[in-house]
Chain A
Amino acid sequence: MITDRLKKVICETLDLRLDDVEIQDETVANQVPGWDSLNHVNVITAIEKDYNVRFKSIEILKCQNIGDLQNLVNSKVG
């Protein structure tokens, strides 16, 4: 399940409001308006900053959807 905190970071980075887009476990990045390959790094950096964690490139590559990203965040903060 995607937390409101993660949704908020994603939406703020992409100039969206929480109710603009439905973000679920199986949502993939490029289904979210504005989240394309060029600003992917910006979204990841914003998440790292908000949670004060660091992701390795290979960890990000393994994320197939936002659910995987949430699990990755949880594994770092937990």
Chain B
Amino acid sequence: MAQVKLDESKTLWERWQSIADKTPDKEAIVHWSAGEEPFRWTYGELVETANKFSLALKKNGIKRGEVCAIILKHDPMFYPLYMGISGAGALPAVLAYPNPRLHPDKFRQGLLGMSQRSGLDRILTQRDLDSIIRPFVEMRESTVDELMFPLEWDLEDISESTTRDLQVVRNKVLNTDAMLLQHSSGTTGLQKPVVLSHKAILDHVSQYGEALKIDEEDIVVSWLPLYHDMGLIGAFQIPLASGVKSIHIDTFEWILAPVLMFESAHKERATLCWLPNFAYNLCADKIPDDEMNGYDLSSFRMVINASEPIRSESHKRFIDKFLPYNFNPHALSTLYGMAEVTLAFSQNPPGQKVNEITVDRQKLAQGIVKLADENTEVKRVCVSSGILIPDTEMKIVKDDRSEANEFEVGEIVVKSICLFDGYRNYPEKTAECMDEEGWYYSGDYGFVYDGELYVIGRKKDIIIVAGKNIYPEDVEVVLNELDQIIPGRVIAFGEEDEELGTEQIGVVAETKLTEYEDLRKLRLNIIRAGMTIDVNIGKVYLVPPRWLIKSSSGKPSRKANKERILAGNDEAIWTEEKFRQTSVER
């Protein structure tokens, strides 16, 4: 075992090539598909194929600096294509493959919003999406010039002149040039584009690699989608640029069969993985023991919880379930970060137990950190997100942006050598979250205790369902189109679901309907409307006119109404469950 030593490459491209030259036969990527032999890329073959893609992309007219969106299903050619785009001097941007229930109009609307912000130039996809995406490309407002199907290209058909052209392009690339574009959060059209340079990513590989003590023998396993920063940077870019193998499982397959992660981890002896909190519950509660028979999880040295609030109970369930399979409880770890700092900002050190503290919940709601004692009525367990990784700074600030005192809760504000330069084509959003001294205002609330960061909530109303950020506005807009809801009188919010270990979306809507049959039809229409934007609405609360509490702006207040709903003692609130319960009682 030896900690990874990184070379002085100035671009990601140089780094990949240099690793391939030194260790051409070392495995770089294992592409995992259920029930099939995995597809294995060595560094040598991967970089050679990526080179061919760069040449093919040049031949197809891709220019330096263009943004190339990739929309592909789980496919072994994704990796060299992604690298090949970068090698041609263009910027790869991974977009989610559309869920079949997402309405094609909503999908195109999302692409339009994204193309106008992110400045997408090309879309590289597969033939079966042609009929859905082409109408978007042909729209007057679209920035996308062309739809391409790179999986159909003949990569052997490359001439020498294009090879020379490619070298000319690569020689011009500076390490401060943009390398990739990723989207920070949000649903259709509202995602904020983050552009990262070769330098930012290489610095992060070294900065975060140091925090993880990444080793040449490490093996990453992941089912995370590659349009998400934790999947793209954590599970793909960091191992690849560190000369470390990563295993990639299809996200859609994993969610149906979470045991796949342990099957691959056992067979390949995986050591590292990143998971959002809900995955701990899903793995602990939904994998039958007979499917785990014979699996040995002792190779894991870090299983890192991030991208949604970390719940102590989820860690406990995970340990209880996997201890019999030789899982080391000290392998559980935590991370706090965001796409704007490339990925990570704080990390629980390897091998160290994750600290938890129990505090007075009522005091915490008032912004004060007070450890619980025997007199505390309501307690809350807070889980540490670790210590700052190298080359970062942090402060906790009050609403007026002055620094909070010790034991006070405030907004987490960060600086990092890997901080982004601002959202692409979105100066107003950049101005909202960055100040002139280069501090990034995260929008998350937290505190520092004993030198460790604890993240406890969000300033904004974002709902995080299974690691996916959803803006309530997106849900409200689509529900406002329903006739039976009083216009403008609907709110969406995140409702904690302890069983799932994540939030689910709750909706409160005012309606004049009063009959049971009408109300249940409206509930169904609300759920169906959510499906058109690929959002699952878990709880529907229907209320009479003028029920919703307004905020000072005159709009219904999400916070106040959520509290009123969760108090649960208002007879005017209609839910399907409540109706059935009272019917039984009658």
B577 CB, nearest partner CB in chain A, Å? 8
Q: Within residues 51 to 78 of chain A, which ones have a CB less than 8 A from any CB in chain B?
A: 54, 56-58, 60-62
Q: Are B466 and A38 in contact (CB under 8 A)?
A: yes
Q: In the complex, A20→B524 CA distance in Å?
A: 8
Q: Are A38 and B527 in contact (CB under 8 A)?
A: no
Binds A, one of B104-112, B254-262, B309-317: B254-262
Which among B35, B286, B288 is the interface contact of A58 at CB below 8 angstroms?
A: B35
B380 CB, nearest partner CB in chain A, Å? 24
Chain A residues within 8 Å of B564, by CB? none
Q: Are B536 and A61 in contact (CB under 8 A)?
A: no
Q: Does A4 contact B (CB under 8 A)?
A: no
Q: In the complex, A62→B35 CA distance in Å?
A: 9
Q: Does A28 contact B (CB under 8 A)?
A: yes
Q: Using a Cβ–Cβ cut-off of 8 Å, how many residues does chain A contribute to the interface with B? A: 20
Q: Contact residue range for chain B?
A: 20 to 34
Q: Does B101 contact A (CB under 8 A)?
A: yes
B500 CB, nearest partner CB in chain A, Å? 6
Q: A16-B524, A57-B260, A61-B256 are in contact. Are A34 and B536 (CB under 8 A)?
A: yes
Q: A28-B100, A58-B257, A61-B256 are in contact. Are A33 and B500 (CB under 8 A)?
A: no
Q: Are A34 and B286 in contact (CB under 8 A)?
A: no
Q: Does A40 contact B (CB under 8 A)?
A: yes
Q: In the complex, A52→B469 CA distance in Å?
A: 38
B257 CB, nearest partner CB in chain A, Å? 3
Chain A residues within 8 Å of B253, by CB? 61
Q: In the complex, A1→B35 CA distance in Å?
A: 27
Pick from B257, B502, B576 the residue with the most CB of A within 10 Å.
B257
A49 CB, nearest partner CB in chain B, Å? 13
Q: Are A57 and B536 in contact (CB under 8 A)?
A: no
Q: Does A30 contact B (CB under 8 A)?
A: yes
A10 CB, nearest partner CB in chain B, Å? 15
Chain A residues within 8 Å of B101, by CB? 30-31
B520 CB, nearest partner CB in chain A, Å? 8
Q: In the complex, A15→B291 CA distance in Å?
A: 29
Q: Are B257 and A37 in contact (CB under 8 A)?
A: no
Q: Does A18 contact B (CB under 8 A)?
A: no
Chain A residues within 8 Å of B232, by CB? none
B401 CB, nearest partner CB in chain A, Å? 37
Q: A33-B531, A36-B536, A38-B500 are in contact. Are A57 and B291 (CB under 8 A)?
A: yes
Q: In the complex, A13→B288 CA distance in Å?
A: 20
A65 CB, nearest partner CB in chain B, Å? 11
Pick from A16, A28, A31, A36 the residue with the most CB of B within 10 Å.
A36
A9 CB, nearest partner CB in chain B, Å? 17
Q: Are A38 and B536 in contact (CB under 8 A)?
A: yes
Q: Does B40 contact A (CB under 8 A)?
A: no
Q: Within residues 240 to 294 of chain B, which ones have a CB less than 8 A from any CB in chain A?
A: 252-253, 255-257, 259-260, 278, 282, 286, 288, 291
Chain A residues within 8 Å of B288, by CB? 54
Q: A15-B576, A61-B35 are in contact. Are A37 and B100 (CB under 8 A)?
A: no
Q: Are B256 and A40 in contact (CB under 8 A)?
A: yes
Q: A58-B34, A61-B35 are in contact. Are A33 and B527 (CB under 8 A)?
A: yes
Pick from A31, A57, A62 the residue with the most CB of B within 10 Å.
A57
Chain B residues within 8 Å of A38, by CB? 255, 278, 282, 465-466, 500, 502, 504, 536
Chain B residues within 8 Å of A56, by CB? 291
A25 CB, nearest partner CB in chain B, Å? 16
A38 CB, nearest partner CB in chain B, Å? 6
Q: Does B528 contact A (CB under 8 A)?
A: yes
Q: Does B551 contact A (CB under 8 A)?
A: no
Q: Are A57 and B256 in contact (CB under 8 A)?
A: yes
Q: Are A30 and B528 in contact (CB under 8 A)?
A: no
Q: Does B167 contact A (CB under 8 A)?
A: no
Chain A residues within 8 Å of B500, by CB? 38
Interface digits, B521-550 against A, CB 8 Å rule (1 contact, 0 not)?
A: 000100110010000100000000000000
Chain A residues within 8 Å of B252, by CB? 37
Q: Are A61 and B257 in contact (CB under 8 A)?
A: yes
Chain A residues within 8 Å of B524, by CB? 16, 20, 33
Q: Does B99 contact A (CB under 8 A)?
A: yes
Chain A residue nearest to B290 (CB atoms) is A54
Q: In the complex, A34→B577 CA distance in Å?
A: 15
Q: Are A57 and B259 in contact (CB under 8 A)?
A: yes
List residues of chain A with CB under 8 Å of any chain B CB. 15-16, 20, 28, 30-31, 33-34, 36-38, 40-41, 54, 56-58, 60-62
5 A-B pairs with CB atoms under 8 Å apart are: A38-B500, A58-B35, A61-B253, A61-B256, A62-B35
- Other than the known A41-B282, A57-B260, what 16 A-B pairs have Cβ atoms closer than 8 Å? A30-B101, A31-B101, A34-B527, A37-B252, A37-B255, A37-B256, A38-B278, A38-B282, A38-B465, A38-B536, A57-B256, A60-B257, A61-B34, A61-B35, A61-B253, A61-B256
